[in-house]
Structure 1
Amino acid sequence: MHTCPPPNQVLDEWLESYDSVRGPYGHLLLEQKSDTDNDLIARLRPYFESAHMDARDYFHAQIGIDLHPDAGSPGEEACYPNCLPPKALRGLFGEVMAGMLTEAFRDSFVGGHPWRVPIFLFRYHADVEAHLFSLARDERRRREVFGRFGSDFIGVVLDDGGRVSKFIAGEAKWRRQLTDSVFNELMLGELTRDPDTGERTRSGKGVWFELNRDTSVPHGLRQLQRLLEQRDPDGHAAAILSLDEALILDHPRPLPRTNLILIAGNGARRREAGDVLIGWEKLPNEYSAAHDLQVVELILRDGELLIDGLYSSLWT
């Protein structure tokens, strides 16, 4: 289970925050204000290790290596998540930060709900499992990996009886440089050319499209339920039952949902302090889902330095 609380003091020292809530819409801008150094990495590390612990345990058992192999042990090249290619690590970073910031800034989020992430969903990444299995047996088999399908993370609110009363489903996106063109492609899809007119328009297959068409109860909620059944069936018995009631096909129990979009990356060169990518004054026109929406913009100066330093330090 994920048991490490968010490092609130570290986040307060590292990031400047600007929050706004307008009815069903919340916006949180976070700007890096202190440099990335070994101290920051060391203080963020426990949360990241806790977030990845379930998947690390699961993948290492699946591929047949010890959880903490000694130097020179067979299969040590396939230790999760350290050995994954840079692109995959950047995706994982965004997903962990989505959970961390949701837990740390929950009072500033739309609704002010006491969100918590009982466990991350990283073990449900079939291509990573296949890659690690091959890599443990042939260290030359390094390659990029396909992204994980479904919600990037799920957070919940547990009532006094331990039942899930609300959930938040997150989409976390990392981009090295958050320019306008990169952002538009991310949210609205790639540019395509009309064969008749020659006009270039966005495909519409970006983040907004995926959020608007998602089912009210996403697949990630079933994955969360299965993980709770395997990892802590007694401690989360009420939560497991309440999720089952929400997931049945015949007359499911309605479960209020909040959508989260986390956009993380280095700010554009000409960006001014306080500039936002998604307006905070009103609910974006592109968003048509019926659920509350929370946007988080995490603007860094040296994000890749942080990610590489952080993931190379886990369990070392």
Structure 2
Amino acid sequence: MAAWLNETNQVDGNYGHLLLEQQAPIDPAQLRPYFESAHLDAREAFHGDAGLDLHPDAGDPGAHAQYPACLPLTARRGLFGEVLCGLVTERYSFLGDQNWTIPVFLFRHHADARKYVFALARDPARQRQLHGRHGNDFIAICLDGNGLVVRFLAGEAKWRKSLTPGEVETLMHGQWEDDGAGGKKRSGLGIWYGLNRELAAPDGLRQLQSILKERDPQGYAAAILSLDRALILRGPIVIPRTDLVMISGNAAKKHQPGTSLLPADAAPADYTAGNPLQVVEVILQDGDTLIDQLYDSLWAGI
């Protein structure tokens, strides 16, 4: 990671800003193990639902519908941004210096991807764009010595082909719309709007808990219990929350190295949720080629 991305890290109280800019190419094979681990839970769930072998041979029925390689290009790019967000979270230092861990990614809760794999396995012509997954892009947790969840991080990750100021403004503040007086205004339905309305205990925590109950109920028994206490309706125990926004994409033509697209010195005034906030910007060169090479290689040759 250090050879691939140049790091500029700033922290001001409850606000952190991390700028990561590509300084050299990376071999997709170096990222493959992390991406395979991130997608394995959903791959097992989707393949099982569709009646596919986990690692089908090329001539097996439905082998063309392997998750996540079978997904449309737009969906791949969104998944890449979310997995990269997790990789950055576990690799770099954020404000607060918590030891973040992501026991499992939440991709199995992408209902439209599940339907897509099921139909595509039975009819190769059923290729289409996907509806996005609702809820948190991913959840990371911080555990104490007893395995209890003492803080969680809720991440919002977005990939854009070109990280221009206009694209970032749209991400954060929503699309342009008529203002009723012949002009244009932002809809206000962007990332800041979503974060400011988030629940103290979002449904991503329940999704994480349900997967942990299935995959490792003994290893994460204390974490599962602490999430139960946070998710009950009567007298919940509040688990402190940190918010994370990560935007990633290709550098715009006019990008100047070391220049951020979101405020680096202080939290944006548009963020009013009041939680510690970490912002990450990942600026790549020819990231689309990297994504395609990486996703084409996942579980290849097994």
TM above 0.5, one fold?
yes
Task: Give the TM-score of the pair, scaled to structure 2.
Answer: 0.98
Cα deviation for residue 243 of structure 1 reads 0.4
Q: Match for residue 5 of structure 2?
A: 15
Displacement of 1:275 in angstroms is: 0.7
Residue 84 of structure 1 and its aligned partner are, at CA, apart by 0.2
- Structure 1 length-normalised TM: 0.94
- Match in the other structure for 2:136: 151
Matching residue of 2:70: 83
Distance in 2 separating the partners of 1:88 and 1:114: 30
* Structure 1 position 269 matched with structure 2 position 253: yes
- Contact 2:10–2:18 under 8 Å retained in 1: yes
Unpaired runs of 5+ residues, structure 1, are: 1-10
Task: Give the drift of 1:190.
Answer: 0.6
Matching residue of 1:140? 125
1:303 deviation in Å? 0.6
- Aligned partner of 2:164 in structure 1 is 179
- Does the 8 A contact of 2:200 with 2:238 survive in 1? no
Counterpart AA for 1:62: D
- Matched with 2:192 is 208
In structure 2, distance between residues paired with 1:97 and 1:124: 18
The whole-number CA distance in structure 1 between the counterparts of 2:173 and 2:179 is 16
Name 1:34's counterpart in structure 2: 24
* Correspondences of 1:1-316 after superposition (within 5 Å): 11-36=1-26, 40-105=27-92, 108-195=93-180, 197-316=181-300
Q: CA deviation at 1:175?
A: 0.3
Q: Which amino acid aligns with 1:20?
A: Q
Distance 1:187 1:267 in 2: 18
Distance, in Å, in 2 between the alignment partners of 1:235 and 1:279 is 40
Structure 1 CA distance for aligned equivalents of residues 114 and 267 of structure 2: 39
CA-atom RMSD, angstroms?
Answer: 0.7
- The AA in structure 1 aligned to 2:30 is R
Task: Give the 3-state SS of the residue equivalent to 1:13 in structure 2.
Answer: coil
Aligned equivalents of 2:233 and 2:9: distance in 1? 38
Offset from partner CA, 1:47-79 (integer Å, 9 cap, x none): 000000000011000000101111110011110
1: CA distance, partners of 2:177 / 2:58 = 50
Alpha-carbon separation, structure 2, partners of 1:302 and 1:283: 30
One-letter amino acid of the counterpart of residue 171, structure 1: E
Distance (Å, rounded) in 2 between the aligned partners of 1:171 and 1:245: 24
Shift of 1:120: 0.5
Structure 2 residue identity aligned to 1:66: D
SS in 2 for 1:228: helix
Task: Look up the SS of the partner of 1:82 in the other structure.
Answer: coil
Gaps of 5+ in 2: none
SS in 2 for 1:110: coil
In the alignment, is the contact (CA less than 8 A) between 2:8 and 2:20 conserved in 1? yes
Please give the alpha-carbon distance, in whole angstroms, between the structure 2 residues aligned to 1:211 and 1:194: 24
Indicate the SS of the match to 2:82.
Answer: helix
Measure, in 2, the Cα distance between the counterparts of 1:268 and 1:80: 31
> Per-residue CA shift, 1:127-177, capped at 9, x if unaligned?
011111110000001000111000000000010001111000000000000
Deviation digits for residues 228-270 of structure 1 (CA, Å, limit 9, x no counterpart): 0000001110100010001101010010000000000011101
- In the alignment, residue 214 of structure 1 is paired with which amino acid? E
Aligned amino acid, residue 57 of structure 1: E
